[in-house]
Amino acid sequence: MFQDYSRRWDEQTRKEEERNRKWEERFDRMHEEIMALATRHERSIGALGARWGLQTEAAFRKALAGILEKSFGVEVVNINDYDDEGIVFGRPEQVELDIIIRNGQLIACEIKSLMDKAGIHAFARKVDFYEKKHQRQAQRRIVITPMLDPRAAPVAQRLGIEVYCDADEVRAE
């Protein structure tokens, strides 16, 4: 009789272990599917954010150029030069830069939805490249961004780049 109970107990334990194993397998599969779905959503949201940032930059750039040109008689020029020597990016590449000209004064401007230290350094190299290629000195270097990495601020200050993160900070000169 004891052997009969023992055998039934062992059988019951084995069935329970089998059920637990199946549940763990289902859980693992569901977890993998959820993580894959989360990854796809993160990528989609990231792509959407990047696209929105680029479109916002372009819209803001066009609006700013229109306002400056029509209301203040300022010339806004979008420069697209090819850097044969790789000065800006370390290899030959197209270099884009916005230039504002007022009464002979040249202002280099960068409008970005997000600016970090690397972006500040890249902007400085773009301006240096422009100055060398066109033999013109920029009197001001300006970055306009709604999101500035706090670590980028001291770099911009050291490089003589004015950074405007908030409309209240912009001053008329």
pLDDT tens, position by position, 31-44: 888 777 777 777 76
pLDDT tens, position by position, 62-87: 877 787 888 888 888 888 999 999 99
Q: Residue 65 has which token pair?
A: 């150029």
CB atoms within 10 A of CB 115: 25
Q: Residue 157 has which token pair?
A: 């200050």
By percentage, how much of the chain surpasses pLDDT 90?
39
Please state, in angstroms and rounded to a whole number, the distance separating the CA atoms of residues 130 and 99.
Answer: 10
CB atoms within 10 A of CB 163: 20
**Of residues 96, 72, 74, 94, the one with CA closest to residue 83:** 94
Read off the DSSP letter of residue 148. B
pLDDT tens, position by position, 116-151: 999 999 999 999 999 999 999 999 999 998 889 989
The pTM assigned to this predicted structure is 0.66
Sheet strands side by side (includes 162-164) = 75-83, 93-102, 105-111, 140-144, 162-164
- Interacting residues of 128 by C-beta distance below 8 A, sequence separation 6+: 87
Please state, in angstroms and rounded to a whole number, the distance separating the CA atoms of residues 46 and 39.
Answer: 10
Which sign does the torsion angle of CA 101, 103, 105, 110 carry? Answer: negative
Please state, in angstroms and rounded to a whole number, the distance separating the CA atoms of residues 162 and 159.
Answer: 9
Structural fold of domain 74-169: Trna Endonuclease; Chain: A, domain 1 (3.40.1350)
